[in-house]
Amino acid sequence: MSNKKKKNLTPIQQEYHDFSKLREPKRPVLKNCLWAFFVGGSICLLGQVIQNFFLWHFNFNEKTAGNPTVAIMILLAVLLTSLGVYDHIAQRAGAGTAVPVTGFANAMASAAIEHRTEGYVLGVGGKMFKLAGPVIVFGVVAAFVVALIRTLLGMAGIG
């Protein structure tokens, strides 16, 4: 609570605030960080296993194995989200499930599932891209800026 709001509290409210602060359970920060680290790492390990599968069994190279790997990871995330499993994993692991591409797929699938009763266009399509729109826009802008810098460095003979 901000100091400004604390000053406006009556003595009884201040006493209750202090009492509730003492009774508030402590957050296990280290435990939460470890869960996020290991679950996020496991997701990345699974992605690496899938990529190696494409490299070894389908004779892809490292550049071409990335696209089907990401597609399968997105498919798995959407499938686990639709079954309600991804949310249980995310509750325990927190940011460990949000950082990889599977977290973005989960966020989009969750929005689509949540708003499906409003119809496919305004519900699923509209609400799903409410989240995806800014991510796509900033991704495209960032890619453009990086490509522009690389081109300018290449023209200058640096890159």
Q: What is the DSSP string of 80-127?
A: HHHTTHHHHHHHHHTHHHHSSHHHHHHHHHHHHHHTGGG-IIIIIIHH
Quick one: pLDDT at residue 44? 92
For residue 1, name the pLDDT band (cuts at 50, 70, 90): low
pLDDT for residue 109 is more than 90: no
Q: For the segment 28-42, what is each residue's pLDDT rounded down to a tens digit?
A: 899 999 999 999 999
- Structure-model confidence comparison of residues 123 and 158, the more confident one: 158
